[in-house]
Amino acid sequence: MLGLGAFRKKQWGTESIPDLTGRVAIVTGGNTGLGYITVRELARKGAHVYMFSRTESRALAAIEKIKTELGPEIKPKIDYVNFNLQKLSSAKQAAEQFLKLEQRLDILVNNAGIMATPYELGPDGIELQACNGTGHFALTTPLLPLMKETAAKPDSHVRIVNLTSIGYRGAGSPDFSSLEGLNQKSWSSWGRYGLSKLANILLTNELQKRIEESGCNNIYCLSVHPGPVATELSRGPLQSWPILSAIEPIAMLFTKTPLQGALTQLYAATSPEVEEKGLKSALLFPTAQLQAKNSLAEDKDGKLGAQYWKLCEKLVAEKA
């Protein structure tokens, strides 16, 4: 007699990633945590992966560690490009550097980010957590023409994956009409984080809409919430509330490993099911499950997403 377990669908895993030989990928924040796992697993399957990261020494050390973990039988193609999420000029320069190196781009995983840090303005006068969205806008938009060219080639499967969080539900009443609205001090650390993660979903929505309006129908843009994961992202809350260090060991017992946490973004970046199920502008929760968006993130009339896009364009024009 078969038990209930026999009828459960097997959870999607890295063994399901298809052969990626000939594909080119970018992963931001790829030197640690979810990004590190994403770089490793894409490279394991044959993709040429570019690790976009701020600190060269850490990135190069991570690349060497990946090579060791994959073993001598695999010769991964991984290169480093300097990318500072908090500087719009750095994002633009990173895109320009990549465009000089490559003739295609199949996968873009906008993974980098910070969480619940104390209030602080970055080098461009943008609140640091808000850079989770603005920095990736500045990187992604210059890459779109190449991604469209790639999508027009035979057997292409082009994906843009933006990391978000269930914390987007705490965004309250966002104001993307101006930099002052984006930088409001009245938001708590968690509120600013939620705002940045709502922005990532709105960016996904707008990218999908604008790509299709340009006549390209085979690029898939997705937002991904990885779930609670034991990564360096916890540094932000600890900076905001040092008392949390007392319960951190207990909290870690209820978090996913980086490998478990990275599965949903790897699914979004590689799985044929994304196209089979038509997951355009989709929001995925772990592991690889379609999730309904709240009304702000759904943004049915497109006004909030258009407002955010316009603000990002203005900031890039002024500061990049």
pLDDT above 80 for 7: no
Range 246-269 average pLDDT = 73
pLDDT above 90 for 222: yes
Residue 131 included in any domain: yes
Which pLDDT does position 199 carry in this prediction? 97
pLDDT tens, residue by residue, 107-158: 999 999 999 899 999 999 999 999 999 999 999 999 999 999 999 999 999 9
Is residue 142 within 8 Å of 90, Cβ to Cβ? no
Which pLDDT does position 9 carry in this prediction? 60
pLDDT tens, residue by residue, 53-91: 999 999 999 999 999 999 999 999 999 999 999 999 999
Which pLDDT does position 268 carry in this prediction? 98
Which pLDDT does position 51 carry in this prediction? 98
Least Cα distance to 174 among 201, 203, 194 occurs for: 194
Cα-based distances in Å from 62 to 1, 33, 70, 83, 95: 48, 11, 12, 15, 21
193 noted as active-site residue: yes
Q: Would you state the torsion angle of the CA atoms of residues 287, 289, 295, 301, taken in this order, to the nearest 10 degrees?
A: 120
Round the average pLDDT of the chain to a whole number and report it.
90
Structural domain total, the chain: 1
Which pLDDT does position 185 carry in this prediction? 86
Which pLDDT does position 116 carry in this prediction? 83
Say what the pTM is. 0.90
Is residue 222 within 8 Å of 204, Cβ to Cβ? yes
Q: For the ranges 78-92, 146-160, 161-175, 227-241, which has the lowest average pLDDT?
A: 227-241
Residue 8 included in any domain: no
The residues, ordered by sequence, that sit 6+ positions from 295 with a Cβ below 8 Å of its Cβ are none
pLDDT tens, residue by residue, 193-213: 999 999 999 999 999 999 999
pLDDT above 70 for 305: yes
Is residue 26 within 8 Å of 107, Cβ to Cβ? yes
Distance CA 3, CA 129 (A): 47
Which residues sit opposite 158 in a β-bridge?
219
Residue 44 included in any domain: yes
Higher-scoring residue by pLDDT: 44, 250: 44
Residue 4 included in any domain: no
Range 285-295 average pLDDT = 97
Which pLDDT does position 189 carry in this prediction? 87
Which amino acid, 237? P
Residue 115 included in any domain: yes
Which pLDDT does position 247 carry in this prediction? 41
Domain that includes residue 226, residue range: 18-319
Residue 11 included in any domain: no
Range 159-185 average pLDDT = 94
Higher-scoring residue by pLDDT: 257, 4: 257
Which residue among the candidates 193, 220, 267, 308 is catalytic per the annotation? 193
Which pLDDT does position 233 carry in this prediction? 44
Residue 7 included in any domain: no
Cα dihedral across residues 54, 58, 60, 62: positive or negative: negative
- The pLDDT-based confidence of 255 (bands split at 50, 70, 90) is low
- The pLDDT-based confidence of 11 (bands split at 50, 70, 90) is confident
Which pLDDT does position 6 carry in this prediction? 42
Q: What is the 3-class SS of the chain, one letter each residue?
A: CCCHHHHCCCCCCHHHCCCCCCCEEEEECCCCHHHHHHHHHHHHCCCEEEEEECCHHHHHHHHHHHHHHHCCCCCCEEEEEECCCCCHHHHHHHHHHHHHHCCCCCEEEECCCCCCCCCCECCCCCEHHHHHHHHHHHHHHHHHHHHHHHHCCCCCCEEEEEECCHHHHHCCCCCCCCHHHHCCCCCCHHHHHHHHHHHHHHHHHHHHHHHHHCCCCCEEEEEECCCCECCHHHHHHHHHCHHHHHCHHHHHHHCECHHHHHHHHHHHHHCCHHHHCCCCCEEEECCCEECCCCHHHHCCCCHHHHHHHHHHHHHHHHHC
Which pLDDT does position 243 carry in this prediction? 38
CATH number at residue 190: 3.40.50.720
For 13, counting Cβ atoms within 10 Å of its Cβ (0-12 exposed, 13-18 middle, 19+ buried), the class is: middle
For 96, counting Cβ atoms within 10 Å of its Cβ (0-12 exposed, 13-18 middle, 19+ buried), the class is: exposed
Residue 117 included in any domain: yes
Cα dihedral across residues 121, 127, 132, 138: positive or negative: negative
pLDDT tens, residue by residue, 95-116: 999 999 999 999 999 999 999 8
